[in-house]
Chain A
Amino acid sequence: MLTTQWLYALSGCLLLALGLRSALLHPALLQRILAINVMGSGVFMLLIAIAYRGPGMPPDPIPHALVLTGIVVAVSATALALALARRLTREQPHD
C-alpha cells in the first residue's frame, strides 16, 4: 500500500474506534447518533483509501460508489433516529 493510503486507512480505523467507543459510552443520545456517523466516516475513509491508486492514477470507482450509497443510507438512518429522539422528548412529561 502507498503511504498516503496507509495514512488515511489508519485514520479511518482510528475514527471507527473513536466512534464505536462514544456510541457505547456517551451518555447523551445526540452524541451517540453523531458517534455512529463518525464510525461510518471511518469506514468510508477506509474504503476511499483502498480505492486510491496514487497521484495522477485513476482511482477504483467501485468503493466510491459504495461510499456514496453509504452516505445516503447514513443520512436516512440519522434522520429517522433524530425523528424518534424528537418524539421521545416531546412525549416526556415536562412537569
Chain B
Amino acid sequence: MTDALIALVALPLTAALLALLLPRIATALVIFSGLAITASAIALLYGVNTAGALHYELGGWTAGLGIALRADGLSAILLLMIALVMFAASVYASAYFGKASERAQFWPLWLLLWTALNALLLSGDLFNLYVTLELLGLSAVALAALSGKHAAVQAALRYLLVGLLGSMLFLVGVALLYAGYATLDLATLTQVVKPGPIAWSALTLMTLGLLLKTALFPLHFWLPPAHGSAPAPVSAVLSALVVKAAFYLVLRLWLDVFADIVTPTAANLLGVLGAGAVLWGSWQALRAERLKLLAAYSTVAQLGYLFLFFPLLLALPPGPARDVATGGLVMLALTHGFAKAGLFLAIGIVQQRSGHDNIQELGGMVQRLPLTTFAIALAGVALIGLPPSGTFLGKWQLISAAIATGQWLWVAVTAIGSLLAAAYIFRILGHAFGNQPYPHQAVAVAREEWPALLLTLTATLVLGLAGAHVWTLLENGS
C-alpha cells in the first residue's frame, strides 16, 4: 500500500530523466508514466480509504531523524486530481507543441513539475516541504517562460522572484520552529507545538510566504501576467494545481499542525483577504480583454472563495459540522482544479486556431469550434457555481456554514462573486454565440479538444453527482 507513496514521486522523476535522455520517445514515455502515476494515485486513494492515513519512513529512519512521506484523505484526493489534470494536459500538450524540439524541452520540465506537485502533497517534513516548494517554483517558472516571448519571460521572472520571496519567508518559519521545538517532522510538531510567540511568528511567516505563492489578494499581482502568457497546458496546471499546492499547505498548517494556535481574528483576516480576492478578481476578469487574462483573474477570485472558509471552519466546533464544511472547501478546490485546467486548454485551442484570444472577436466561435465552446461553457458553469457542478455543492456548504455561524458578510461576498462570475462567463458566451462569420481556419484536433472537454465534464458532472464520495473519503482517510 505504501508503495504508491514512493511511486508517486519516483515515477515522474524517473520519467523526467528518461525524457531528458531519450527525447525521441519522450511523448510515449509521458503518456505511459502518466497512466502509471494515475494508477498509483488511485491505489493510494484506495489504500487511504480502506486503511486510513498512510505514512512511509524514507531510508528506514524514524520520522524526525529521517523524512516521512504521509498521505491522508485530503492529500490522496488532491493527488488524484493532480494525476488526472496532468495526464489530460499531457495528452493535450502532445498535440499543442508541434515541433519535436519544443517537446524535447517541455517534457522533462513538465515531469519535474509533476514530481514537485506529488512530492509536496506527500511530504511530512517542514524542510522537505521547502525543497519541494522550490522545485515546484523553479519548474513552474521554467515552463511559464517556455514560449520565450518578452511578456512571458518578464512575467516568469517576476513569478520567480515572488516565489523565492515566498519560499524564504517559509524557510524562516521553519528555522524558527526548529529553534523552538527541535523537530522538522510535521506529525511530531503537531503534538508538541504550544501557543506562544514562536508558533505565532512561525505561522505568520510561513503563511505570508505561502499566500504570496497562492496569490491571495492583494499578493496576486504576479499571477495574471504569468498565467496569462504561459503556453496553454502550462497555464492550465499553474492555475489549477500549482497555486493550489501552496493553498494546500496553508490548509494543513492552519487546520492540522497549528490547529490549537490559530485564532478567529487571524482567520477573519484571511477571510477578508479572500473576500477582496473574490470581488477584485471577478471584477478584473469581467474587464479583461483577453480570454487568458480573464481565466487568470478568475483564478484569483476562485482562490478567494477557498479562504472564505477559514473564518467559518474556525467558528464551527470540531466535529461533523466542521467536517462537512471542510468537504465543501475540498470540493471547491477540486472543481476549480478541473474546470480551470479545462478552461485554459480550451482557450489554448481558440488561441491557436484564431491566432488571438480577444474576447471581442470571438463571434461565430460556437459554430466553428462547438466542442471547444461547449468545454468553455461547462467550465463556466463550474466557475459560477451552478448545478450540477461540484462548485455548487461547495458553495452550498460555504453559505450554509456562514449562515450557521451568523457570518452574513461571506454570504453576500459569495453571492456577488458568483454573479460577477456569471457576468464574465456569459460575456464570453455572448460573443461566441454571435452569428458573425468566424474568419479563421478552425480544424479542431481531438487530442486537444477531448482533454479539455473531459476535464470540464469532470468538474461539472462527475464531481457534482458523485460528490458524496469526497466527504466519505475525507472521513475514512483521516
Given contacts A16-B172, A84-B145, contact A36 B161 (CB under 8 A): yes
Closest to A39 in B: B168
Measured CB to CB, the nearest residue on chain B to A9 is B179
In the assembled complex, the CB of B55 is this many whole angstroms from the nearest CB of chain A, namely 20
Q: How large is the interface on A (under 10, 10 to 19, 20 to 34, 35 or more residues)?
A: 20 to 34
Tell me whether B161 and A32 are in contact (CB under 8 A): yes
Q: Once the chains bind, are A46 and B160 in contact (CB under 8 Å)?
A: no
Decide: B160 and A76 in contact? CB cutoff 8 A.
no
* CB nearest neighbor in A for B168: A39
What is B's interface to A at a CB cutoff of 8 Å?
Answer: 127, 130-131, 134, 137-138, 141-142, 145, 148, 150, 153-154, 156-157, 160-161, 164-165, 168, 171-172, 175-176, 178-179, 184
Let me know if A59 is at the binding interface, CB within 8 A: no
Q: Which B residues lie within 8 Å of A77 (CB)? A: 134, 137-138, 160, 164
Contact across chains for A46 and B150 when beta carbons are under 8 A apart: no
User: In the complex where A39-B168, A92-B150 touch, is A84 in contact with B157 (Cβ < 8 A)?
Assistant: yes
A81: interface (CB < 8 Å): yes
- Let me know if A88 and B150 touch, CB within 8 A: yes
Return A89 CB to nearest CB of chain B, in Å: 10
Contact of B165 with A84 in the complex, beta carbons under 8 Å:
no
Q: How far is the CB of A41 from chain B (nearest CB, A)?
A: 10
Q: Is the CB of B178 within 8 A of A33?
A: no
When A43-B171, A73-B131 are in contact, do A36 and B165 touch as well, CB less than 8 Å?
A: yes
* Docked CA distance A28–B165 (Å): 16
Which residues of chain B are near A33, meaning CB under 8 Å?
A: 161
> Are A91 and B141 in contact, CB atoms less than 8 angstroms apart?
no
Chain B interface helix/strand/loop/mixed: helix
Contact A46 B165 (CB under 8 A): no
A91 neighbours in B (Cβ, 8 Å)? 150, 153
Given contacts A50-B178, A50-B179, A69-B131, contact A40 B157 (CB under 8 A): no
User: Are A88 and B175 within 8 A (Cβ)?
Assistant: no
A19 CB → nearest B CB, Å: 8
- Pull 17 A–B residue pairs with CB atoms less than 8 Å apart, ordered by A: A19-B168, A23-B165, A36-B168, A40-B168, A43-B168, A63-B178, A66-B127, A69-B131, A70-B130, A73-B134, A77-B134, A80-B138, A84-B141, A84-B156, A87-B145, A87-B148, A91-B153
A73–B178 CA distance with the chains assembled, in angstroms: 20
Q: Which residues of A lie under 8 Å from residue B171 when comparing CB positions? A: 40, 43, 70
Chain A stretch 39-95: residues in CB contact (< 8 A) with chain B? 39-40, 43, 46-47, 50, 62-63, 66, 69-70, 73, 76-77, 80-81, 84-85, 87-88, 91-92
Q: Report Cα–Cα, A70/B131, bound state, in Å.
A: 8
Q: Which residue in chain B gives the minimum CB-CB distance to A69?
A: B131
